[in-house]
Amino acid sequence: MADGADQDSKTEAPTQKRYTEAAEKGNVPFSREVTVFASTLGIYVYLLFYLPAGIAHLWDSLKDLFEKPDQWRFDTGPDVVALFIRLGWDSTAVVAPAFILMAAFGVGSSIMQNLPSPVLERIAPKFSRLSPMAGFKRIFGLPGLVEFGKSLFKVVVVGAVVVFTLKSEFFTSLDAMFSDPYFLVARLTSDVKTILIIVLISSAIVGVADYLWTHHQWFTELKMTKEEIKEERKQMDGDPIIKQRQRSFARDLARKRMMASVPRATLVIANPTHYAVALRYVREEDAAPVVIAKGQDLIALKIREIAEKNGIPVFEDPPLARSMFAQVSVDSVIPSVFYKAVAELLQRIYTSRNPKRRVG
C-alpha cells in the first residue's frame, strides 16, 4: 500500500536531471521484443538471400560424396578426418551467416534503442533481489502480467496462425519426404519462410506494443513528487535561506565600503532626513561629479552624520536629493541634467572657502 500511495503522489514529469541520473545508472527504456523482431528479420534475410546458394554448394559436396564414392579414400583415419573436416567447413559456411546476421541485427536494434555504456552498478550484486516478496511482485505484478501476455500471444496466436497456414501444405510436405533430397530441402525452406513471415508480423506487433509499454513504464517510474521537484531545485539553485543570508552579507559589505567612502566626499545633498547623496568632485580625477554613497532613512542619517564629523558641507535640497537618489547609482557620474544644480552648490563651497576663487 505504501508503494502504491508513493506512486500515486508522483504526478510531476521527470526533470532533465532525473533523466541524466537514470541514464548514468543504466536505467534506460529497453524493449527485448524489438531485439527479437530484429533477430528474426536477420534470419529471414539469410533465408531469402543466402540460403539458396549455400544449400546448392552443400548439395554439390554431398552429391560428389554419395554419387562418386570411389573418388574418396577411406584407407586411414586421417582420410576420414579430412572428409569430416571438409563437410564441417561446408556446413559451417551455410549455417554461420545465419548466426552472424541474427547477432548483427539484434545488436543493431539494441544500439538503436540506447547507446551502450558500461554501468558497474547494474552488475553489482544486490541482496534485495533475493527477497521473496520482491520476486513475488515481479512475477505476479503488472510487469509480470505483461510478460505473460506477450508470451501467451506468441505461443497461442502465432501457433494457431502457423497451423492454419500450413494445414493445406501438410500432405504436400509428406510427399516431399519421398522425393528428390534437393526438392525436399527447397520445400522445407519454403515452409520455414512462411513460418518466419508469420513470426515477423507477430513480432512486429508485439515489438511495437512492447516498445510503447516499456517507455511508458520507464516514464512512470521516473515521475516525481512535488516535494522532489522542490528539493531538486533547492539543490541546483541553493538553499533560499542561505542565498538570502549571502545576499544580506554582500549588501552589508557594500554598505560598509560605501560608508567608508563618505569622508572623501566633496558635498552631501539631503532631503533633509529621508534621502542623502554624497558626491565627490576632483577636477583632475573625473570630468563630472561622482556619486560615492547614497541612502535613505537610517542610512541617510548615517551619511549626514559622517559628513558633519568630517566637515563636509551638507545641502538640503529635497527635489534634487530625491531625483539623484532615484536616477544615479553608486560609483556613477551624474547625468548632464544635474550639472547646473550641482555646479551651483560647488560654486558655493569654493566661494565659502576662497571668496576670490570661482568655479570655471
pLDDT tens-digit map of 237-253: 666 676 777 777 777 88
311: alpha, beta or left? (left if phi > 0; alpha if psi -120 to 50): left
pLDDT tens-digit map of 85-114: 777 777 777 788 888 888 898 888 888 887
Of 43-52, 68-77, 82-91, 317-326, minimum mean pLDDT range: 68-77
DSSP assignment of 186-239, as one string? Answer: HHHHHHHHHHHHHHHHHHHHHHHHHHHHHHHHHHHHH-B-HHHHHHHHHHHH--
Express as a percent the part of the chain with pLDDT over 90. Answer: 1
- Give the model's pLDDT for residue 233: 78
- Give the model's pLDDT for residue 64: 63
CATH superfamily of 261-353: secretion proteins EscU (3.40.1690.10)
According to DSSP, residue 94 is labeled H
Domain coordinates in residue numbering, the chain: 2-113+130-234, 261-353
Band of residue 358 on the pLDDT scale cut at 50, 70, 90: very low
More confident residue, 221 or 80: 221
pTM above threshold 0.85:
no
What the block records as the C-alpha cell of 28 is 534506460
Q: Are the C-beta atoms of 339 and 294 separated by less than 8 Å?
A: no
pLDDT tens-digit map of 114-123: 776 665 555 5
> CA 288, CA 202: separation in Å to the nearest integer?
84
CA atoms within 13 A on the CB side of 106: 12
What the block records as the C-alpha cell of 169 is 501444405
Band of residue 12 on the pLDDT scale cut at 50, 70, 90: confident
